[in-house]
Amino acid sequence: MNILSNQYNSDLDYYYDILEQYQQISKTEKDKDIWKYRLYMQLMELLIDKNNITLVRNSILLILSLFENLPPDPYNNQGININSITEAEKKILISNLKEEIA
């Protein structure tokens, strides 16, 4: 992918192309790293034009999010799995939640 070419009509086209390229790269870690670092270098070259700062920043954030295995929020894995409690405990839990809402 050559992100420096003039083939894009908007920033969204850049982001879409990054996602498409990500889906097509090999599954090996080495290939992913090579693709990622080449893309970073191409993005850095875009900074010659100060108008591309937002595009580059958002592209980097997109790339980082593709390679990070982070939960969506800090509460994602907290609490009790509803399938691991008994029916009686579920009724008590629902009753307590209803009281809090009322």
pLDDT tens-digit series, residues 56-86: 999 999 999 888 877 777 777 777 777 888 9
CA-nearest of 79, 77, 46, 72 to 60 is: 46
CA separation for the pair 40, 59 (Å, rounded):
9
CA separation for the pair 102, 97 (Å, rounded):
9
The larger pLDDT score, comparing residue 102 to residue 52, is at 52
Averaged pLDDT, 94-102: 88
pLDDT in tens, 10-47: 888 889 999 999 999 887 889 999 999 999 999 999 99
CA separation for the pair 75, 22 (Å, rounded):
28
Determine whether 69 is exposed, middle or buried from the number of CB atoms within 10 Å of its CB (0-12, 13-18, 19+): exposed
